Structure 1
C-alpha cells in the first residue's frame, strides 16, 4: 500500500490550476495498485468532482484547502438519493458508489464554494425559470421515476437538484476523520445505504443562510458511530433519515444502530434531528455527552401522515443546551412535505391507520439541562389515530428565558400554528409518558400542559418560581394519571388544574 501524492501527478496548489484530472489520475493509480493513500499536501487546489474508489484513503494535510469549481456542467448526472427520492442529480462534489474500505482523513478542508448554487436556488424560489445542459439530462434520466407532488421541493420542476459536498452510496467500512467540510451546495455530507461507518473529529460548516444546508445526513445506514465532531450550519446539524413516502417505503431500508457522542452543535435548525424523511424507519439511536448552543431545536423528531414506518428506541442522555428555541420537539403532525390537496393530511380527527401512518415510540430523555430557551420547554404532539407512545423524561431541567420582549414562535410545525413564548412542556396525543425529577422554569404558564393523553406518571415535576394563579400542571382530557412528589403534596390543589380530565387523578396519599 503506497502513498500517491497528487502533486506527483500534476496537481498544483496555486489556487488557479484545475486539478480535476490530476486528482483522478492519482486515485486511479492508487486503486490499480491495490489501494493505499492519495495524499493532498498543503496548498490551495481548485478541482471539479472527485470520484473515490475502494481501498483508498484520501488524506488532506493540515494547511491544504480543496476548492470545488462552480462550473455546474462539470458535475454530470449520477444516481443519487435526493431529499429522500431515488433519482439522478448533479454529481456530488466528492462521490463514491458501491465501495469498500473508503476513508477521508487529515486536518485540511474541503470547500464546496456553494454560493453560486445557492444563487440559482433563490432565483428558482422567486419563480424564475432555469435550465442547462445538465438539468436537461437529469430530467431525461428521471423520466418515469416517482415524481413528488405538492411538496416543498423548490427545485424539482427545474431538475436543478443541487449536490451535497460529500455523498457515499452503498459503501461499507467508511471512515471520516479530522477533516473540515464547508460551504456545500446542498446538504454538506450525505451517507446513503452505508454500513459500518465511523465519523470522528470532523467539522461541518455552512453559513446560517445556506438553503438546505444540513451538516451530516445519515440516510438508510446501519452501524454508524459519530464522535467528537463540531457542527455550525444553516439547517439541521446531524440528521437521521430513511427515504420519503412511497419511494422510501419501496426501498425499505432503515437507519439503525447509530451512536452520537461528544459532539458540539453551534447554530442550526436542529441539534440532532430524526426525520421527516423516515419512511424506511429509524431505530436504535443513542445520543450522549453533547452540547447544543443556539440551535433552533435541540433533539427533534418529526414525521407526518404521508411518511409511514417508525421512529423508535431513541435514547438521549447527558446533554447541555443553551439559547435554543425548543430543547425537545417530537412531532407526528409535521405539516411540510404532504399533499396539501388531501384533506386527511391535516384533519384534526383520527383517520384510518394505513401504511402511511407513522409511529413514534420508546423515547427516553435523561440528564438534560437546557437554559434560556425561547418558545416551549418541550413539545410532544402525536396523531389522534396513532399517539406518540412510551416517552420518558428523567432528571431533566428546562429553564425558559425571562426576557419579556421574547416573541417566541412555533416550537414545531404541526397542522395548526401553535405559538409559544417562554412556556412549559406541551403534550397532545400521547399514550404512556412519565416525568421523573423534571424541573421546568417558565416565563409564563404552567410547567406542563397535557391534552388527549393516557397512562401518565408525574413524579417530582416541579417549578421553583411559581406564577400567581398558575398551576404547575394543567390537564385537559387526560386519563389514568398518577402524581407524586414533594411539591405536589405541599401545594395540593394549587399544583394541578384538571378541567376536562375524564378519569380520577391521583396524587399519592390524596385524590383529586
Structure 2
C-alpha cells in the first residue's frame, strides 16, 4: 500500500510545516502492517522524522525534505556520538530497533546544518553555549562527563546529530537518495545488520565540521556500491566505538564490501577508525575512484583505543590529486586525553587492552597520480608494530609542481609536513612490495625505520630532483631486495 503525505495534510510549498503529515502517514502505514510512504515532488519543511519497521520511505524525484534547525525539537535519544554510547540530540531522520526499513527515491534530504555548525564554531572559539536541551543532556550523560577528550562539544554537551541515523536495525536498504548539509556526520548506521547502500549521494561542504559521508559503526554484513561522496571530512568510515566504552560493548564492524564508488573530496576516501575499539575486520574495497581527497585509504588509531583492524583488502583503485594515497597511523592525535603522556611517547610502553592491533593489510592494483605530500605513510607502535602489509602492482607518482606545499600525510601527535616525498614506514613487521613503482619529487622513494622482514621484489623507485638515496633504512632487519632494477648500479641503499 502507498501512503502519500499530501493525503495527510503535507504541502510541498516550502512554507508549511509537514512534520505531522509525515508522522501520520508513517503511523497509518505501520498500523496497516507496512507499506510505502510517498513524499512527492515539492519542498517540505519538517522537524524530526522517526521511521518504523516494514516501511519504505520513498522520496521522489523533485522532492526536497528540509529539516528545520530548531534545536529544541530534536529531543534526546540513545545514540553513539563520536564513539561514545550516550544520549544526544535526535538525528533528523531516525530509526531504532527496526526491521525491514528502506529509504529510496531520487529526492533530497536537506539537513540545513549551518545553524548547528555556527554553535560548533562558537564553542571552538572558547565561547559558551547553554540551553535547556544541553542541560538535559548533561543530566542524562552525567556518568560520562568525567571522560577527558579533546572533542570540542563534550563539556557543553551540544552533541550535534547526524542527518540520518539507524540504530540497531536489520535488513536496511538505502537507495538513490541525496543526503546533504548534515549538522554532524551525514549518515550514521549503528549496530545494524544486513545493510545495502546503493546509488546514494552524500554531500557536505568543505567547511562542514565533522561532515563525514557514511559511517558504519559496529555494523555487520554491509554492501556499499555505486555511491558518490563529496564531503568536508572522511567520505566512508568504518568504526566500532571508542576506548573503554567501545571495548566494553565489543561489537566489531565486519564483513563489509565497498565497490564502484567515487569520492570527489574529503579528508579520506575509505577510512578505518579512529574509533575502532570494538574491532574492524574482513573488509574489501574495489573498483573505486578517489579524486582530490586528502588521503585515499586511511587507517587511524592510537594507544587509547585498543581493538583491531585486520583482514583488509583494497584492489583496483585509481587516485588523483590526493595528499597521500594510503596511511596507517597508530599515533592519531584526536579524541584523546591530551594530559596523558603515553599518547605521544616515542618509546615503547606496556602492552595492555588499550594497545591497538593492525595486521593483514593488502593493497593490490592501485594507481595514484599527482599526489602532493607523500607516496605512503605507515606508522606503527614501537611496542606493537603493524604486521603483514603488502603492496602488489602499485604505481604512485608525486606531483612535479615545485610550488606544491604538501601537508600532513596523516595527523600524528606532532605535525609532520611532507611535500613530494616517497613512502615512509616505521615499526612494521613483514612489508612486501611486489611490482611497485614510486616516483618522488624529492627525497628517498622509500624510507624505512625499525622494520623486520622487508621484501622488495621488482620495485622501481625513482627520485626526481635530488641525489638522495633511492632507499633509506634505519635499524631494519631481514631485508631482501630482488628484481631487475636491484641489479643496476644507480639503485642503491643508504643504511645506518
Shorter-chain TM band = over 0.9
Report the 3-state secondary structure (helix = DSSP H, G, I; strand = E; otherwise coil) of the residue aligned with 1:144: helix
Q: Deviations over 1:303-330 (max 9, x none)?
A: 0000001000000000000000000100
Aligned to 1:508: none
Aligned residues of 1:3 and 1:37 also touching (Cα < 8 A): yes
Q: Deviations over 1:185-220 (max 9, x none)?
A: 000000000000000000000001000000000000
Deviates more, 1:335-344 or 1:101-110: 335-344
Report the 3-state secondary structure (helix = DSSP H, G, I; strand = E; otherwise coil) of the residue aligned with 1:463: strand
The one of 222, 234, 248 aligned to 1:236: 234
The one of 422, 427, 434 aligned to 1:424: 422
* TM-score between the two structures when normalised by the length of structure 1: 0.96
Aligned to 1:498: 494
Cα distance between partner residues in 1 of 2:37 and 2:408: 48
Deviation at 1:470, TM superposition (A): 2.5
Q: Give the alignment's Cα RMSD to 1 decimal.
A: 1.0
Deviation at 1:471, TM superposition (A): 2.4
Aligned to 2:294: 296
The one of 247, 250, 259 aligned to 1:249: 247
Work out whether 1:445 is the aligned partner of 2:438.
no
Aligned to 1:128: 127
1:235–1:174 distance in 2 versus 1, CA, 3 Å: same
Report the 3-state secondary structure (helix = DSSP H, G, I; strand = E; otherwise coil) of the residue aligned with 1:236: coil
Cα distance between partner residues in 2 of 1:376 and 1:370: 11
1:193–1:146 distance in 2 versus 1, CA, 3 Å: farther
Aligned residues of 2:445 and 2:462 also touching (Cα < 8 A): no
Aligned to 2:454: 456
Cα distance between partner residues in 1 of 2:229 and 2:365: 22
Cα distance between partner residues in 2 of 1:346 and 1:225: 36
Cα distance between partner residues in 1 of 2:145 and 2:72: 25
What is the total number of aligned residue pairs between the two structures? 496
Aligned residues of 1:146 and 1:247 also touching (Cα < 8 A): no
Aligned to 2:26: 27
Cα distance between partner residues in 1 of 2:493 and 2:452: 16
Cα distance between partner residues in 2 of 1:120 and 1:337: 19
Q: Deviations over 1:452-484 (max 9, x none)?
A: 000000011113565553322111110000101
Cα distance between partner residues in 1 of 2:466 and 2:158: 56
Deviates more, 1:402-411 or 1:245-254: 402-411
Aligned to 2:206: 208
Aligned residues of 1:322 and 1:372 also touching (Cα < 8 A): yes
Aligned to 1:509: none
Aligned to 2:192: 194
Aligned to 1:504: none
Aligned to 1:399: 397
Deviation at 1:62, TM superposition (A): 0.3
Work out whether 1:116 is the aligned partner of 2:115.
yes
Report the 3-state secondary structure (helix = DSSP H, G, I; strand = E; otherwise coil) of the residue aligned with 2:429: strand
Q: Deviations over 1:150-200 (max 9, x none)?
A: x22101111110000000000000000000000000000000000000000
Aligned to 2:45: 46
The one of 172, 175, 178 aligned to 1:177: 175
Report the 3-state secondary structure (helix = DSSP H, G, I; strand = E; otherwise coil) of the residue aligned with 2:142: coil
Return 5+ residue gaps in structure 2 as ranges: none
Aligned residues of 2:241 and 2:276 also touching (Cα < 8 A): yes
After TM superposition, list the pairs within 5 Å mapping 1:69-468 onto structure 2: 69-145=68-144, 147-149=146-148, 151-464=149-462, 467-468=465-466
* TM-score between the two structures when normalised by the length of structure 2: 0.99
Aligned residues of 2:58 and 2:104 also touching (Cα < 8 A): yes
Cα distance between partner residues in 1 of 2:147 and 2:113: 25
Return 5+ residue gaps in structure 1 as ranges: 501-512
